[in-house]
Amino acid sequence: MAPSADTGFRYDINALRALAVLLVLLFHFRVPGFSGGFIGVDVFFVISGYLMAAVIVTRLQAQTFGLGRFYLARAKRIVPAMAALICTLLVIGWWSLPQSDYRELASNSVYALSFIANIRFQRDAGYFAPASHDNWLLHTWSLAVEAQFYLLLPLLILLVWRFRPGQRPLLLVIATALLISLARSAWLAYNSPDSAFFLLQSRAWQLLSGAAVFLCSQYRFVSIAQRYPRRVSALGLVLILGTAVTVDAATVWPGLFAIAPVVGTALILMIARQSAWMQLAPLHYLGLSSYSIYLWHWPVFVALAFIGMANNVFAIIVGMAVAIGLGLFSWRLIENPTRSSTRPGLVLALIMLGTLTPAILIYQQQGIPGRLAPDVEIAAAEAQNYDSRRGQCLARNGFDFPWCQYGGDDIRAIVIGDSHAGAIFTAVARAAQLATSATDVANPNAGVRASGYNSCATLQDGNSVNNTDGCRAFNQFLRDQMQTLPASIPVIIVNRSSVYPLGSAVAENSDFRRPLVYYQRPQSRPSAQLTEQYSQDLIATACHFAEQRPVYLLRPIPEMQVDVPRTMARRQLLNRPSEVSISRADYQERHAAVWRAQDVAVQQCGVQVLDPTPALCDSERCYGSENGRPLYYDEDHLSEFGNKKLVPVFMGILGDGYGDGGNTF
């Protein structure tokens, strides 16, 4: 993904590029055995750091380095092919993407060409989450990281060079920055995984590792290692390939585990062995076109997912071939010609203007409604129909916890839990206002207090796999806040309960069958012991709150197997049956343990249970849609339309006589 150094052609670097892009392709197209193929990006980062340091330092020593010329060369390398991809997607999207998706594509196009896509995507669903895999430009996050590095590295080197010219002082500064970034990466990988994955601060050490390899070339240990080129190169390949086949999407990344492929790449660069296999024609052309292949491969996969062919073996083979073909085409007809342009500044300005202008217009026009059939747009729009205060009242990480008020000052209930609680805050508030008093008069001044923390089960003892400290602190915060409210106000506890001991039920999800809660130590797969521990913890927690105030536990919300709005919109676009549902038997099987635990809590300490299934299911199936409109804004969170079906469930417990009615157990 980075240009070649000014020195003679390096077949080892080109082969590493070919290997890196192949690993990424194999991973993204879900070829078995390459669960860690995403480490190809880490390999690219090391190569980029090496080449950029080589270009800058070599030219500084020759007194020919120009900062503007350096930036222009990088832009010539990256922008034209990316702009061509974006324009192609915008044209295709006009005929195939619903309004919300088209607006999102336009927005992401601007972020991609502004080289801040990594910052944008860090705030959304994680890289491995199914929702992110509908993002046509998800892969441009790595290009943003590189561009930010290209912007800062020459400034750092020029600053050091001004006061202490020479490679040794520069190596000391680079090594210090590398270690700081590595430490930051290791910390973020456990405390803020999305930040660790996407942001430069936790990726810089990989790029700086490449720079350090170049600066180490004068040291004796390098010449000693070069006496054993085959062994050292073989070790480097083993570290890269071994990592690619052993880690997976559940691995904490890019913390300390990422050291292996980085070291492997560094060893091969350091030895600079030009082996015969590195010069084979297929590898040679894959390496030369690796940037363009990387650009095109991801949209090809997203297209397969769009038409429901992402798991079809024949489609995967064809898709990979198409991605490589498009990459070769882009390299030959776009990359190479624009690199030799005689007026690169003007050409780049026109390319940027011609790409950003339609993208901004599409975004400003809200995805340009009216392009597709109304039923497609209605289904797709539900993906954005969530609580407007979600960002304020549902914490994602950190220790700044919300304590929100919905409705009026007459607080009728407290609603706490994880993101499933956040999805029904407005429904409970609406129920509180509609619930009648003894005089049969609605209470427009009624309100609720609400607080949620994403992926944090409401437990006394359980540890969150993704954020133990933050989740524990949040649950203590809830206990403290409830002490400030009258004991007569009931608390409604809502969790995506079964996902914690069982993991996700969706095979494409990185948390598929991966428990999100642990006690002694994290577990990679569900177990009867973990489910029992979780059940006892759920019971104990409910009974603890029941000592202080009335407690209501909501039965688990049915989880669909697909993103409901996207799936329905695509099916309608392709003239396929669009309604989404799961069988009642599947629902009962998945949530049996939670139902049993809730029933025990009823018997032990008098909590009550609210059952949403009469509103969402019949005797045979649980439904994700109603009359062509989704009830969910993704695969398992009720939308603002869907959650209103639960208003009657809550109304009976929110009048003056708490607990006197409603769908309770």
Confidence (pLDDT) at 125: 63
**Parallel, antiparallel, or unpaired for β 410-417 and 491-494?**
parallel
Cβ atoms of 35 and 136 within 8 Å: the answer is no
Structure token pair of residue 206: 């990989």
User: Which amino acid appears at position 566 of this protein?
Assistant: R
Confidence (pLDDT) at 512: 81
The partner residues of 447 in beta bridges, in order of sequence, read: 407, 411
Tell me: the pLDDT tens digits for 16-74? Answer: 999 999 999 999 999 999 999 999 999 999 999 999 999 999 999 999 999 999 999 99
Range 471-493 average pLDDT: 93
Range 475-482 average pLDDT: 92
Give the span between the Cα atoms of 325 and 42, in whole angstroms. 24
Structure token pair of residue 220: 């004796």
Confidence (pLDDT) at 131: 64
Q: How far is CA 293 from CA 25, 35, 73, 332, 495, in A?
A: 9, 20, 20, 12, 42
Q: C-alpha angle 48/53/55, rounded to 5°?
A: 95
Cβ atoms of 532 and 592 within 8 Å: the answer is no
| Model-wide pTM > 0.85 | no
Contacts with 415 (C-beta within 8 Å, 6 or more apart), sequence order: 421, 424, 425, 428, 448, 449, 450, 451, 491, 492, 494
Range 494-506 average pLDDT: 92
The dihedrals phi and psi of 554, each to the nearest 5 degrees, come to -85, 130
Give the span between the Cα atoms of 427 and 434, in whole angstroms. 11
For 216-365, where are the alpha helices, taking DSSP H only?
220-225, 229-246, 259-271, 281-288, 290-306, 313-330, 336-339, 344-364
In the DSSP assignment, the letter for residue 493 is E
Structure token pair of residue 103: 């607006």
Range 203-210 average pLDDT: 97
Give the span between the Cα atoms of 4 and 17, in whole angstroms. 11
Confidence (pLDDT) at 4: 39
Banded model confidence at residue 311, pLDDT cuts 50, 70, 90: confident
- The packing angle between helices 200-215 and 259-271, to 10°, is 20
Confidence (pLDDT) at 574: 86
Contacts with 88 (C-beta within 8 Å, 6 or more apart), sequence order: none
Give the span between the Cα atoms of 128 and 643, in whole angstroms. 27
3-state secondary structure 156-172: HHHHHHHHCCCHHHHHH
Banded model confidence at residue 126, pLDDT cuts 50, 70, 90: low
CA dihedral 199, 202, 205, 207 (to 10 degrees): -20
Confidence (pLDDT) at 656: 55
**Parallel, antiparallel, or unpaired for β 446-453 and 404-407?**
antiparallel
Kindly list the domain boundaries of the chain, sorted by start residue: 11-364, 383-651
Cβ atoms of 162 and 321 within 8 Å: the answer is no
Q: With CA atoms as reference, report the closest residue to 202 among 122, 111, 128, 132.
A: 122
Range 449-473 average pLDDT: 90
Q: With CA atoms as reference, report the closest residue to 452 among 418, 499, 500.
A: 418
CATH topology of domain 383-651: Rossmann fold (3.40.50)
Confidence (pLDDT) at 342: 74
- Compute the mean pLDDT over every residue in the chain, rounded to the nearest whole number: 90
Tell me: the pLDDT tens digits for 103-121? Answer: 999 999 999 999 999 999 9
Confidence (pLDDT) at 665: 37
Which range, 262-266, 512-516, 569-573, is most confident?
Answer: 262-266
Confidence (pLDDT) at 219: 77
Confidence (pLDDT) at 338: 80
Q: With CA atoms as reference, report the closest residue to 295 among 82, 83, 104.
A: 82
Count of CB atoms situated within 10 Å of the CB of 223: 10
Banded model confidence at residue 256, pLDDT cuts 50, 70, 90: very high
Give the span between the Cα atoms of 13 and 15, in whole angstroms. 5
Cis geometry, peptide bond prior to residue 254 (ω within 30 degrees of 0)? yes
The dihedrals phi and psi of 492, each to the nearest 5 degrees, come to -110, 120
Confidence (pLDDT) at 465: 85
Give the span between the Cα atoms of 117 and 143, in whole angstroms. 8
Give the span between the Cα atoms of 477 and 475, in whole angstroms. 5
Banded model confidence at residue 438, pLDDT cuts 50, 70, 90: very low
Which range, 287-291, 371-375, 469-473, is most confident?
Answer: 287-291
Give the sign of the dihedral formed by CA 158, CA 162, CA 165, CA 168.
negative
Count of CB atoms situated within 10 Å of the CB of 415: 28
The dihedrals phi and psi of 220, each to the nearest 5 degrees, come to -65, -35
Structure token pair of residue 419: 């993101």
Tell me: the pLDDT tens digits for 282-296? Answer: 999 999 999 999 999
